[in-house]
Amino acid sequence: MTPHRILLIAFLSLVPMMLRAATIEMHVNGLVCAFCAQGIEKKLRKFPATADVVVSLEQHLVAVALKDGEDIPDTELRKALTNAGYTVTAIERSDTSIEAIRSRLGQQKP
Amino acid sequence: MTRWSENLVGALALIAPVCAFTKPIAFANGTTVMLEYGAGTMWEAQIFYAPQYNYSVGGGHVEFDSDITPETVRITYARLNYLLHRWNLESAQANVFVWGGAGAATGNTFSGTELTGNAGAQADYETRRVYASLKTDLQKANAFNIRVDTLQLGIAPYKHDYNQIATWFVVQARQYTDDIHHGTEVAALLRLFKGGAWIEAGITNGGKLQAMAMFNF
């Protein structure tokens, strides 16, 4: 195998990781009380792939920052939110950083 | 109620940080601790663990001290709480909880220890600005039949968000059976919560302290 081919294979093997989302944004119904919503953060932080969690009652939003190259399946996310007592209406993945989401929501890192 | 327990609950209510309405189930794998001082006629401590989001198990201790007769009743009980139904709306949540349990009671109007049964229900509705809760809780034995009915209506002066302190102004109306208290006891309460800590405190129409603290972890 030529060095060029080895480099090409190595590069191609990295592409899926590079394409993975940085964050997962979930739209959640019933999110009205911060005291009761703690279960969401507690559950989501237990995933090994979770780097950070942001919750917004105003936007009915729960965002999870993912560790590099990792992901959490939608079924696991829905299960976690259901076990916290809430209903997930949509799940979206994006490359938006958690800091950008915090900034958009007007929140500061605790 | 003994003087030490009255002082303990009163002190906890004053130092603990105070949320929209109390729930007997927090979230799956969550523990809830609740302490309530009810205007000299009742105080209660509870601890519940929720294996799943729709039920919790635990127990509590409640003491009733009639302000009409010399009757005092102390009950220690085990209980199962069940979330009968939850409505998760876009900007609101509503719940119906039911519970039941059994315990042992002592008191000054009967001898020895009596076996007690406990049953209750709660319906609530909450947005980030208003909430309403109606709760009924029955403690029954051969020697007594004490039911406490509580209505709470709350309004928040601003919409709190996650990681912010939430503030609620609450009006509570409560009635006791079994001559624990005559008529409807009305209390004006200030409720504050942040993170896993909730405290509320206020004054009843009889000028007495009404307070509650709750913690989720």
Task: Check residue B27 and give its pLDDT.
Answer: 80
How many CB contacts within 8 angstroms connect chain A with chain B? 103
Nearest-neighbour CA in chain B from A53: distance (Å): 11
Whether the Cβ atoms of residue B183 and residue B206 lie closer than 8 Å to each other = no
Q: With CB atoms and an 8 Å threshold, state whether B89 touches A83.
A: no
> What is the dihedral sign for C-alpha B10, B209, B128, B149?
positive
- Smallest CA-to-CA distance from B42 within B197, B160, B188, B150 is with B150
In angstroms, rounded to a whole number, what is the distance separating the alpha carbons of residues A63 and A44?
10
Q: Rounded mean pLDDT of A40-67?
A: 94
Asked if the C-beta of A110 comes within 8 angstroms of chain B's C-beta atoms, the answer is yes
Q: Rounded mean pLDDT of A24-45?
A: 90
**pLDDT over threshold 60, residue B12:** no
For an interface test with A, give the residue of B21, B27, B81, B125 to mutate (most A CBs within 10 A).
B27
Task: Check residue A8 and give its pLDDT.
Answer: 66
Model confidence band, residue B66 (pLDDT cutoffs 50, 70, 90): very high
DSSP state of B128: S
Give, in order, the Cα–Cα distances in Å from A19 to each of A11, A51, A70, B148. 13, 17, 11, 59
For an interface test with B, give the residue of A35, A55, A61, A108 to mutate (most B CBs within 10 A).
A35
**Which of these ranges, B20-24, B157-161, B206-210, has the smallest mean pLDDT?**
B20-24
Asked if the C-beta of B183 comes within 8 angstroms of chain A's C-beta atoms, the answer is no
ipTM: 0.78
Tell me the pLDDT tens digit for each residue of B96-131. Answer: 999 999 999 999 999 999 999 999 999 999 999 999
Model confidence band, residue B13 (pLDDT cutoffs 50, 70, 90): very low
Q: With CB atoms and an 8 Å threshold, state whether B216 touches A35.
A: yes
Task: Check residue B21 and give its pLDDT.
Answer: 60
Nearest-neighbour CA in chain B from A41: distance (Å): 10
Q: Rounded mean pLDDT of A43-48?
A: 94
What is the share, in percent, of chain A residues with pLDDT greater than 70?
Answer: 86
Nearest-neighbour CA in chain B from A93: distance (Å): 21
What is the share, in percent, of chain A residues with pLDDT greater than 90?
Answer: 62
Task: Check residue A11 and give its pLDDT.
Answer: 59
